[in-house]
Amino acid sequence: MTTVEATGVTLDRLRRSRRGRVVWLAVVVLTLACACLLSVGLGTRAVGWGDILAGMSGTTETMAQAVVAVRVPRTVLAVLAGGALGLAGAVMQGVTRNPLADPGILGVNAGAAMAVVIGMAWFGMQTLGAFLWTAILGAGIAACFVYAIGSLGRGGATPLKLALAGAATSIAAASFTMATVLPRNDIAGGVRSWQIGGIGGASFDAILPCLPFLAIGLVLCLLSARSLNLLALGDDAAAGLGARVAWARGAAALGAVLLCGATTAICGPIGFVGLVVPHACRLLVGVDHRWLLPFSALTGGILLIIADVIGRIVARPSEMDVGIVTAFVGAPVFIWIVRQRRVRDL
């Protein structure tokens, strides 16, 4: 009798929280739609509703319609890149069971950037397809390296060790990138514009080749939601419940690396999205990865669009790189997380 009642109460709570999650999902999707509209409408030149509709349908007769035609691919890229980074961050935090995991802090983005610059300098790469492969390779190598160093020895991969290994790897990669670029004036311009490029110069031609990578990464990450839930209980408990720990970890990490590498190949390194977004989402929907991962993807898209719009408005008539805005939003959240936890946990 009591068990039935207790089960009833638990089920009720679950359902209620599921209802809450559905409401939040609707809110997030609506916000994303509004953010997209804002991104198309706002900027150095503000445009009206009529121009937005006309521009969306492809006409570029007036200045305003041409502006809209440029802003649409940019908005699409912001959604894709932000979603990929947010999702990758949530997966990395799950795989490493570490609240400070983020593609920027763990040095994965810097590794991808170094690989692309080496490809430009030594192998004469020019095409985006080549950038993609090298970026993903670099991201993968950096991720394995940082995780291997951070988890050596007693205590496993503590946040401090991972953050330090990531910082060291980032600095080493940045030094090496600089050393590769400096003596070659012929590629210096290309590298700089790629590094600072952000999402400003987006076009559908540039976005298309990345889509397969993003799609595979997305599927891998979403499929690993259940095993991430098991991993959260600890490796032994997860193995006891029937998860193949190493495989689950590897698949999820591969998905995250694909997402980060592809994003870095188009936009250059963007930090802190993957750190901030999952923490915000955990406040909304709790720690269940089956909900957390899709929410992180949507919220990541929102964050990057808004950061891009802020970057356009603040520095009118020029623009502020989206990576700079995300650092200013993200670093305070990072510090807040560090302050929240007891030192023993870190």
Partner 1 sequence: MTAAADTGAAERIAGLRLSRRRARIRLVAVMCGLVVAVLGLTLATGPTMTTPSELLRVLAGHYVPGAGFAVRELRLPRAVLSILTGMSFGLGGVIFQTLLRNPLASPDIIGISAGSSAAAVFAIVILGWSGPAVSVTAVIAGLGVALLIYLLAWRDGVSGTRLILVGIGLSAMLDSLIAYVLSRAPAWTLQDALRWLTGSVNGATLAEALPVLVSLTVFGGLLLARRGNLEAMRLGDDTAAALGVPLAVDKVLAVMAAVGLIAVATAVSGPVAFVAFLSGPVAGRIAGPGRAPLIPAALVGALLMLLGDYAGQHLLAGRYPVGVVTGALGAPYLIYLIVRSNRTGREP
Interface residues toward partner 1, by CB under 8 A: 100, 104-105, 149-150, 152-155, 159-161, 163-165, 167-169, 171-172, 174-176, 178-179, 182-183, 188, 196, 271-272, 315, 318, 320-321, 323-324, 327-328, 330-332, 334-335, 338-339, 343, 346
CB of 65 to partner 1, least distance (A): 29
CA distance 149 to 139: 15
CA distance 183 to 185: 6
CA distance 198 to 143: 22
Q: How far is CA 4 from the centre of its chain?
A: 43
Identify which of residues 255 and 323 has a Cβ nearer to partner 1 in the complex. Answer: 323
CB of 343 to partner 1, least distance (A): 4
CA distance 85 to 271: 9
CB of 170 to partner 1, least distance (A): 9
Identify which of residues 140 and 271 has a Cβ nearer to partner 1 in the complex. Answer: 271
Identify which of residues 206 and 333 has a Cβ nearer to partner 1 in the complex. Answer: 333
Provide the residue type at 189 as one letter: G
One-character DSSP codes across 297-323: HHHHHHHHHHHHHHHHHHTTTS---HH
Helix (H) or strand (E) holding 288: none
Identify which of residues 123 and 336 has a Cβ nearer to partner 1 in the complex. Answer: 336
CB of 179 to partner 1, least distance (A): 5
CB of 66 to partner 1, least distance (A): 25
Identify which of residues 70 and 164 has a Cβ nearer to partner 1 in the complex. Answer: 164
CA distance 50 to 161: 54
CA nearest neighbour of 223 among 261, 246, 256, 263: 256
